[in-house]
Amino acid sequence: MATDYYQLLGVERSASTEEIKKAYRKKARRLHPDVNTAEDAEDQFKQLGRAYEVLADPQKRQVYDATGDPDGKPSGFGGAGQGGFGGFGDIFETFFGGGGSAGPASRTRRGQDSLIRVRIDLGDAVFGTTKEVQVETAVTCSECNGSCMRPGTSPTTCPDCHGQGQTQRPMRSILGTVIQTQTCARCAGFGNIIEDPCQECDGQGRVRERKTLKVKIPAGVDRGNRIHLAGEGEAGIAGGPPGDLFIEVDIRPHEVFTRRGNDLHATVTVPMTAAALGTTVSLDSFDGEEQIEVKAGTQSGEVITLRGKGVSHLRGMGRGDLKVHLKVATPTKLSDKQKELLRLLAEERGEEANESHTQHKGVFAKLREAWESV
């Protein structure tokens, strides 16, 4: 009595191809000899594969439904790529959820991303700027326009794989004869062969070239920040899309200002007398000349803050501050007249001004004062 393939798979005669495929997968996992230790597991698995081979192929299924004879077409465990259970692709798909022929590969490849560094002045970081940068990169070949072929020519279909990009060969296994699919060695899986490549780019579809770009540096950028320019990286192979370009910013040290976050810091030195009496000093900032008011009695280390005179916030939320650190300079070389004036000032203020005395009297000075008082 002939085996009913529909009954073997557990589907109705009106079942769709997808329902047949689903039922086959479910039973194949259970009956595979690697997981089923029954003595007739291998025979059942082969019979299940034969049923699926017939019912999954519309033409074989039509013959089977009309005659009930599954041998109207070539039998055996696996046809050569006719949609049945015949290759490693179907086995992989059954037990690992994937598989199947992927078809010919594309020569097109996305270009690589590029990274270059640009050094700017601190003032450029405060307000932003536009810089011209030169990039050594890959660009689409103008001779073949990325086709990789000499203009006027076309690729030919690979005679080994007939444009499929894959070749198949039968192999014996414990499961019977299976079909092994592998990348075509002659066309490298592309399905066609370029017999007359472009001489300008050596069949790559791109060439090396130096190009100049205008890059907008935003206000507030800091050392190490990167600017992303989409599509400005290397051109892809065979007309593939370009990669991206990243501009990494470096900032030259400034002779007056240092940056801490979005604040600028500067040190201004004022004479001792000016700090005592009060004065106004000028400072050339990135906004122009600033007048710094130094109040009378200012001590060294005091900080004067100028609001909104620092670096712009990167997201446009105002600017940081300019912090001016005051340093009071004590004179080291005095003329006799200057020394006399300082002594008079010290006497007026009740301070000790004799160079040979320290703030605290020495032992001999104290003995002399004690002797004179007797």
Contact 201, 209 (CB under 8 A): no
Between the alpha carbon of residue 186 and those of residues 159, 164, 206, 238, 343, the distances in Å are 9, 12, 23, 19, 101
Rounded CA-CA distance 31/186 in Å is: 39
Residue linked to tokens 């001999």: 364
Per-residue tokens: 130: 């536009």
Contact 318, 308 (CB under 8 A): yes
With 0-12 / 13-18 / 19 or more C-beta atoms within 10 angstroms meaning exposed / middle / buried, residue 335 is exposed
Rounded CA-CA distance 286/301 in Å is: 23
Sign of CA dihedral 85, 87, 90, 95: positive
**Does the annotation place 184 within a ligand binding site?**
yes
Residues in Cβ contact with 275 at an 8 Å cutoff, skipping those fewer than 6 apart: 294, 297, 298, 299, 300, 326, 328
Q: Of 112, 104, 96, nearest to 189 (Cα)?
A: 104
- 56 SS3 class: helix
Rounded CA-CA distance 148/235 in Å is: 13
**Does the annotation place 148 within a ligand binding site?**
no
**Does the annotation place 198 within a ligand binding site?**
yes
* Binding-site annotation: residue ranges for Zn(2+): 141, 144, 158, 161, 184, 187, 198, 201
* Binding-site annotation: residue ranges: 141, 144, 158, 161, 184, 187, 198, 201
